[in-house]
Structure 1
Amino acid sequence: MNQEKKSKTPAIVFDLGGVLIDWNPRYLFRKLFDGDEERVERFLAEVCPQSWNVQMDSGYPFKKAIEERCLLFPDQAQYLHAYWERWDETISGDIPDTVKILAELREAGYPLYVLSNWSAESFARVRAKFPFLDWFDDMVISGQIGLTKPNKEIFDYLLEKVGLPAGECLFIDDRNENTEAAEQFGFQTVLFTSPEEFKSYLIDRKIL
């Protein structure tokens, strides 16, 4: 977190997965592997790593990525196909306490934005399940524009949408590499660890 206290933050920018939406591929693969945690972790590390997910977050076609991965891991093809076919099962729902905070910020009149690394295809499948997404003034979804965090280009793209300098935006994300990058680009930042810690930060800075 930035240490400088702010009494007013004109724009607040949220990540989605891990902050407002409880996304975790383990939710699906625990079912597929009958709760075998070691097998789940090995699969996610070797077959379905985060570096591969970033390709889809960047706009690469999901089904094409699956087919290419199946060529590398033919014995895991059924599980790779399930990742797309049952992708909705990687989400358990929203994170209720963060949604409550979002509602308070909305009531207080802050402009609200989304900056999320998310495949355009999978985001379209779940968009309607989360009505609170309608509360945002605008959303920047990486897969829709072919840019991803923590690259500077996507933050510049966001600022064009917001119409404010980075120093007048508070960016919340659950990944350290993203908050560190945003801070280097001049944003106020919060590394999200829990709704309770986030709420305390907002109260301490007199944002709420």
Structure 2
Amino acid sequence: MKIKNIIFDFGGVLMDWNPRYFFRDYFKDDEKMEYFLENIAQDEWNIEQDRGRTLAEGTEIQVKKFPEWEKEIRAYYDNWTVMLKSDIPQNVEVLRKLKNTDYHLFGLTNWSAETFPYALENYDFFQIFDGKIVVSGTEKLIKPDPKIWYVLLERYNIQANESVFIDDNPKNIEMAQSLGFETIQVTPETNLEQELAGLGIKL
């Protein structure tokens, strides 16, 4: 089947986001920082905001659970923009090249509906998607739940077997493969242009 559509995850693929970019300076103690991120403001908690829970509600839930960490928990979303360090230039360059091809470009991201607008406003490459972006926080669905891929497929009337899905998370890659997508798992070492060429996609 000929590839017609290229679908990008954002965090870890096009954007370099990591809470450590803020908390390393905040704590000035890596051991304490890692304890906080693994046990207090852990991924499972942040994911619920990506699934659609408000930042305010998520913050209050965690403050009630861990009152001794209140200051640090409140600092998390107050300083979220510091955690969004930059784009990932080599992959954004590939996206810019794809803009001048016949491929249809889409975004499928686990991202809070409240924080995503900041990225949209501050990084111009998001305009390349022409609004064809499915955001977990808006849909109240989150990868690797297959339903969020179906939202994308149905909304834009595309077929999984004509599409490449690019993500850094192995669970999301595994789910996309089971749904019939070609996939590319991105790591810091990935040459995205080469990987796409391997699937017959020429830039």
Q: Provide the aligned length of Structure 1 versus Structure 2.
A: 201
Identify which of 187, 190, 193 aligns with 2:181.
187
CA distance in 1, matches of 2:84, 2:64: 27
Corresponding residue of 1:164: 158
Match among 15, 29, 33 for residue 40 of structure 1: 33
Q: 1:53 aligns with which of 46, 51, 69?
A: 46
What's the secondary structure of 1:113's corresponding residue? strand
Q: Which deviations, in whole Å up to 9, do the C-alpha atoms of 1:35-86 show, x marking residues without a partner?
A: x221111111100111111110110011111011011111111111111111
Instruction: Spell out the pairing of 1:12-161 with structure 2 (5 A cutoff).
Output: 12-34=6-28, 36-137=29-130, 138-161=132-155
TM-superposition CA deviations, 1:93-146 (whole Å, max 9, x none): 111111100011111221100000000001123320011101004000000110
| 1:128-179 residue CA offsets vs partner (Å, 9 max, x unmatched) | 0011101004000000110100001101001012312111110000000000
- In structure 2, runs of 5+ residues without a counterpart are none
Answer with 175-184 or 117-126: which moved more. Answer: 117-126
How far apart are the structure 2 equivalents of 1:62 and 1:82?
12
Give secondary structure in 1 for the equivalent of 2:114. helix
Amino acid at match of 2:121: A
Alpha-carbon separation, structure 1, partners of 2:34 and 2:191: 28
- RMSD after superposition: 1.3
Distance across 2 between alignment mates of 1:43 and 1:194: 25
SS of alignment partner, residue 121 of structure 1: coil
Normalized against structure 2, the TM-score is what? 0.95
Please give the alpha-carbon distance, in whole angstroms, between the structure 2 residues aligned to 1:135 and 1:195.
24
With over 3 angstroms needed to count, the CA separation of the structure-2 counterparts of 1:65 and 1:59, relative to structure 1, is same
Superposition TM-score, scaled by structure 1 size: 0.93
Query: Retained in 2: the 8 A contact 1:62–1:84?
Result: yes
Query: 2:172 & 2:90 partners in 1: Cα distance?
Result: 22
Q: Is the 8 A contact 1:117 1:148 kept in 2?
A: yes
Letter in 2 for 1:207: I
Shift of 1:201: 1.0
- Equivalent AA in structure 2 for residue 116 of structure 1: T
1:125 aligned partner, one-letter code: Y
Contact 1:114 1:140 in 2 (8 A): yes
Structure 1 residue runs of 5 or longer lacking an equivalent are 1-5
